[in-house]
Structure 1
Amino acid sequence: MDNYNEVKLSGEIITDIEVQTSNAGKKLCNFSLALGGDEKDHSTNLGMVVPIYAMEETAEALIEEAQKGKYLIVTNGEISVGSYDTGKGKRFMTTILVRNFQII
């Protein structure tokens, strides 16, 4: 069966890329991507902000090539939904896992 969890999107990287290394020595990075909104002034209109992360070779390539302010095209990604408990109840978070990308 085909994988129907496939995402393609593009936007501006609006946060610094955070880098982590797993206990096994694998790289992981995460950052926020602004989709739409006022491209000249993100302080007034961000449009939609999406949390993005990548793992292993994709993370290493993003760490090397991407930075805050660059335009990113996710040519192949996957939606990931997770949850966590707070003192006020359960919270849900949707993120995008990058599999392939292009920087413009």
Structure 2
Amino acid sequence: MRVALELVKEGRAEACVSAGNTGALMGLAKLLLKPLEGIERPALVTVLPHQHKGKTVVLDLGANVDCDSTMLVQFAVMGAVLAEEVVGDQKSPGGVAQYRGRRNQRPRQYS
């Protein structure tokens, strides 16, 4: 994982894919790769095909268990940059999943 991330840092690779420990990958990424200014931690991301228009960027795929509103805004910034720079989409709105965090932190639903 470290070698792959160092290759990304040096510009000799465009991405890092790992089947290793996610926590170790995220820690190494934070240590080795310079984040955008104002971004505290990395997030897992994927780009999925969209049935109506090109591609959809999905960020924070479970690597961060406890996220406050500041982190969610930072993830939105990273997603917007990725959408513009990698996917070529300059107008996509961001969104937040309805239920975030641990079960005991989620809002209760009453019927």
**TM-score range, shorter-chain basis?**
under 0.3
Q: Which structure shows the bigger proportion of residues in strand conformation? A: 1
**Which TM-score applies when normalising by structure 2?**
0.26
* TM-score normalised by structure 1 residue count: 0.28
